Amino acid sequence: MAKYNVTLIPGDGVGQEITEAAKLVIQATGVKIEWEEVVAGSTAFQKYGELLPKSVLDSIRRNKVALKGPITTPIGTGFRSVNVSLRKELDLYASVRPTQTWQGLDGRFRDVDIVVFRENTEDLYAGVEYVQGSNEAKKIIEMSAGKIRENSAISIKPISAFCTERIVDAAFKYAKLNGRKLVTATTKANIMKCTDGLFYETARKVAFKYPEIDYNEKLIDNMCMQLVQYPEEYDVIVLPNLYGDIISDLCAGIVGGLGMAPGANIGEIGAVFEPVHGSAPDIQGQDKVNPVAMILSAALMLDYLGENTAGDKVRKAVAEVIKEGKSITADIGGIAGTQEMASVIAAKL
């Protein structure tokens, strides 16, 4: 049996608890993983004085695969998001976030099965910003011919044909390989005609190469409304960075919350798998956090490693435990703790 070297980043807050839960479930599949543990985020800052040590990037480049818990980035302190930095440094251009309804969870919706493809490296998340009163901001204000008020802070939104083409192509390839029927591109191109207009223009060219897959377009505000009214009508959604971040959380909300939302960040040289939710320091160490998002992220990692049978078994075990409803966490209507839920899922395997 193959053995895989995988970088493990436990993260901050509840990260340690849910990474241990995911490791327990992966062990139960029988897939052999050699974990190389490194730290990033506030844990790394306390230890090394930096949020993203070079050793983390070196480890991921060496192993090509990482499983990562949520990371805390200090807000409003000048520190750049560790998650954004990881994606930029490793060119993890495709954020893939599947969403589905689960039998046993109460909710308005049935038969939701959406996969969001979010471009991960540019848009407003590129971090090209200028503070109020800076020389750069003043020059941009002057060039705007009165369209921007004096003393504004400025953020620049780059959208390239290159990055758009590869994320849209990734969405169509996924649809083709997984029997999906529809890809929906989503922007605000009626207002941002140059940037979002380029996204649509490029997406249409890619869609032309996949005639067997239906393609349509929705404006982001309408898409939000559609997803809370008729989410079962959507299949694969592809978006620029900021819209993708928002829509993926919205999708999570209609199927049980962020505790049910796994994620993958994939590039040409490797991939990082992580839950969509944050580090939740307010419940750290209380055995309360839902481990499913992390466990399902680990299942996506198994798929990436070619262990699709093991990944499917994990998803089936999660589905059985949720359907039974006896050992689920409070956020989805139960009373079980983190480790109990993970142990029961592992036992199903």
Q: In this predicted structure, what is the pLDDT of residue 53?
A: 92
CA distance 60 to 290: 26
SS (H, E, C) the chain: CCEEEEEEECCCCCHHHHHHHHHHHHHHHCCEEEEEECCCCHHHHHHHCCCCCHHHHHHHHHHCEEEECCCCCCCCCCCCCHHHHHHHHHCCCEEEEEEECCCCCCCCCCCCEEEEEEECCCHHHHCCEECCCCHHHHHHHHHCCCCCCCCCCEECCCCCHHHHHHHHHHHHHHHHHCCCCEEEEEECCCCCCCHHHHHHHHHHHHHHCCCCCEEEEEEHHHHHHHHHHCHHHCCEEEECHHHHHHHHHHHHHCCCCHHHCEEEEECCCCEEEEECCCCCHHHCCCCCCCCHHHHHHHHHHHHHCCCHHHHHHHHHHHHHHHHHCCCCCHHHCCCCCHHHHHHHHHHHC
Q: Where, residue-wise, is CATH 3.40.50 in the chain?
A: 108-121+159-255
9 strand-pairing partners: 68
Tokens 């897959």 found at: 213
Residue in 12, 169, 196, 245 annotated catalytic = 245
CATH classification (class only), 108-121+159-255: alpha beta
Q: In this predicted structure, what is the pLDDT of residue 226?
A: 96
Does residue 188 carry a catalytic annotation? yes
Task: Choose among 46, 36, 31: nearest CA to 314.
Answer: 31
- The pLDDT profile of the chain, 349 residues, written as one tens digit per residue, is 689 999 999 999 999 999 999 999 999 999 999 999 999 988 888 888 889 999 999 999 999 999 999 998 766 555 668 888 899 999 999 999 999 999 998 778 889 999 999 999 999 988 889 999 999 999 999 998 889 999 999 999 999 999 999 999 999 999 999 999 999 999 999 999 999 999 999 999 999 999 999 999 999 999 999 999 999 999 999 999 999 999 999 999 999 999 999 999 999 999 999 999 989 889 999 999 999 999 999 999 999 999 999 999 999 999 999 999 999 999 999 999 999 999 999 999 9
Handedness of CA 222, 227, 232, 237 (dihedral sign): positive
Q: In this predicted structure, what is the pLDDT of residue 291?
A: 97
Q: In this predicted structure, what is the pLDDT of residue 266?
A: 97
Does residue 245 carry a catalytic annotation? yes
Residue in 221, 312, 316, 323 annotated catalytic = 221
Q: In this predicted structure, what is the pLDDT of residue 77?
A: 52
Q: In this predicted structure, what is the pLDDT of residue 267?
A: 97
Task: Choose among 48, 30, 32: nearest CA to 40.
Answer: 48
Task: Choose among 57, 59, 85, 60: nearest CA to 71.
Answer: 85
For the question of whether the overall pTM of this predicted structure is more than 0.85, the answer is: yes
Residue in 23, 68, 93, 125 annotated catalytic = 125
Q: Where, residue-wise, is CATH 3.40.718.10 in the chain?
A: 1-97+261-349
Q: In this predicted structure, what is the pLDDT of residue 191?
A: 97
* CATH 3.40.718.10 at 1-97+261-349, yes or no: yes
- C-alpha distances (whole Å) from 22 to each of 45, 104, 301 are 25, 22, 11
Residue in 23, 68, 88, 188 annotated catalytic = 188
Does residue 221 carry a catalytic annotation? yes
